[in-house]
Amino acid sequence: MAGPQRLARFAHGRHRTFSLIGLLGGLWGAMVPELGPVPLAAAGLAFAAVFAAFQWREAMADGDFSVTSTIAGFIVFALGAFAVVGNMAVAGAAGVATLALLAARQNLHDFLKNMTWPELRSAVLILAMTFLALPVLPNRTIDPWDAFNPYELWLMTVLIAVLSFAGYVAVRLMGERGLVLSAMAGSLVSSTTVTLINSQLAAKTKAKENPLLAVAICCAWMTSVTRVTIIALVLNPVLLVPLLPSAAAALSVLALAALVFYRMAKETGARAHLTFDNPLDFVFVLKLGALLAGITVAAKLANEAFGQAGLLGLAGVSGFVDVDPITISAARLAGNSVAPALAAQAILLASAANLVTKLVLPVAVADWHFGGKLAIVGIAAILAGAAIWFAIPNESLA
């Protein structure tokens, strides 16, 4: 019993020490307006020397030569000072990130210890795409149609790579639960990308594993519809009555389909056999980036061809690529220059168009056996939302 008690006392002492270090940094930071920055710098150097000396003596006594605690002490002192003289929100976020890294230290060690060369290569490739290629690209449109922005396109390509690799890591760590969770998390950013990635996996994996991938896609679609609805209601609560019933009907269909696919996956035993051959298919990522560029330009041209044909026409065209812009615009206009029912109809139309894009992808990327079932689910969700819309009387759309 002495061992655990000693360890608890040691951990408690460390917590006290780091709290005092943060307070020390904050006090020196508070003196900057009166004394200037030089005393703070001198105090930081003095603290670093003394703390490093004590850490070295402790390491010699315990035989533990990890530098983590020393670096953590330096960070805590700096964050304490920065919270006073800099930005408190940034200091708080950095503190949370530091705490998370320290708490997950053992898990990170285990993951890195078992990391394979393809995984390391994929991680390095993503870092190169983000920090080497992205900064040098022009952040402006370079085509005659004012639609092709190299920086934004490559940023989306990086996002695709990150979501793909994150899904791989989640599945490796948590199995089928990780696949669903990563799909839901990724769809907060791009449910279309999640649909494409899982459709590509369906084309490569065994047929009995496809229901599990279908569960992930349905959950991504559910998250997307929920996200759009929440954004609209937060921006303008007046949309609650005309928007929520149809959105709830579509969500109910998708949830039912996800449950059916999950039961199918459980019966086929896909939970234990889902694997990945490659953590990051870079060729697929580049092809998908090119496809997104083509869709973006095509949508821009279509929008110019139709002109200002009204809010619904704009929603129908733009929704095939991205539902967020029309959602935000319609929500802000609702109750002002546009009737709430008309704004809600535009949001639902854009969501339906976006779902049409996503239900076509599994058929095109995987096959009809896999994609056909999802296409039926997507069409059923759209019809359910439309049926509720026309069944419930709405205010004038004029």
Domain residues of the chain, as ranges? 2-111, 118-391
Burial category of 302 from C-beta neighbours within 10 Å (exposed 0-12, middle 13-18, buried 19 and up):
middle
Q: What is residue 387's predicted lDDT score, i.e. its pLDDT?
A: 94
Q: How large is the C-alpha radius of gyration of the chain?
A: 26
The C-alpha atoms of residue 285 and residue 292 are separated, in whole angstroms, by 11
pLDDT, one tens digit for every residue, the chain (398 residues): 444 444 444 445 566 788 889 899 999 999 998 888 898 899 989 998 998 888 888 888 877 767 788 888 889 999 899 889 887 877 887 787 787 777 766 666 666 666 777 777 787 888 888 888 888 888 888 878 776 788 877 887 787 677 667 766 766 666 666 677 777 776 766 788 788 888 888 887 766 567 888 998 999 999 889 888 988 898 889 988 899 999 999 999 999 999 999 888 887 765 544 445 556 667 767 776 776 677 566 656 655 665 445 567 777 777 787 787 778 778 877 877 678 888 888 899 989 999 998 999 899 888 888 899 999 999 999 999 999 999 987 654 44
Is 21 in contact with 80 (CB distance < 8 Å)?
Answer: yes
Residue with tokens 């896609």: 217
Q: What is residue 11's predicted lDDT score, i.e. its pLDDT?
A: 47
Phi/psi-derived region of residue 345, left when phi > 0, alpha when psi is between -120 and 50, beta in every other case: alpha
Provide DSSP, 148-212: --HHHHHHHHHHHHHHHHHHHHHHHHHTHHHHHHHHHHHHHHHHHHHHHHHHHHHHHS-GGGHHH
How far CA 150 is from CA of 141, 293, 294, 296, in Å, comes to: 7, 9, 12, 12
Residue with tokens 């733009």: 318
Q: What is residue 304's predicted lDDT score, i.e. its pLDDT?
A: 62
The C-alpha atoms of residue 36 and residue 325 are separated, in whole angstroms, by 47
Task: Please tell me the pTM assigned to this model.
Answer: 0.57
Is 215 in contact with 262 (CB distance < 8 Å)?
Answer: yes
Residue 140 dihedral angles phi and psi, to the nearest 5° = -160, 160
